[in-house]
Amino acid sequence: MNWLSRLALLLMIIGALNWLLVGLFQWDLVAAVFGGETMRASSMLARIVYTLVGLAGLYSLTFLFGDNRVRAE
């Protein structure tokens, strides 16, 4: 995986982890780091979606650190 693909994947994972925090705790890490309102009021359905996106981001960590070479069968 080239450096641009790794950077894009890393940014996607950071965003997904932020949504996980919003979904579970209604707390926005990005707003806390860069300034802004850190608490978000969301509906339960929105929080479920945020949590699922965050869990997908956790799963995507395996792609960032795993062996991504294509193997010939």
Whether residue 70 lies inside any domain: the answer is no
Q: Domain range for residue 32? A: 3-65
In this predicted model, what pLDDT tens digit does every residue of 10-63 receive, in sequence order? 999 999 999 999 999 989 888 888 888 888 777 889 889 889 999 999 998 888
Whether residue 24 lies inside any domain: the answer is yes
Whether residue 71 lies inside any domain: the answer is no
| In the predicted structure, residue 5 carries a pLDDT above the cut 90 | no
Q: Put residue 66 in one of left, alpha, beta given phi > 0 → left and psi -120 to 50 → alpha.
A: beta
Whether residue 34 lies inside any domain: the answer is yes
Whether residue 73 lies inside any domain: the answer is no
pLDDT, average across residues 5-9: 88
Whether residue 45 lies inside any domain: the answer is yes
State residue 17's pLDDT score.
93
Number of separate domains in the chain: 1
pTM of the model: 0.74
73 CB-side CA count, 13 A: 0
Kindly indicate the confidence band of residue 6, based on its pLDDT and cuts at 50, 70 and 90. Answer: confident
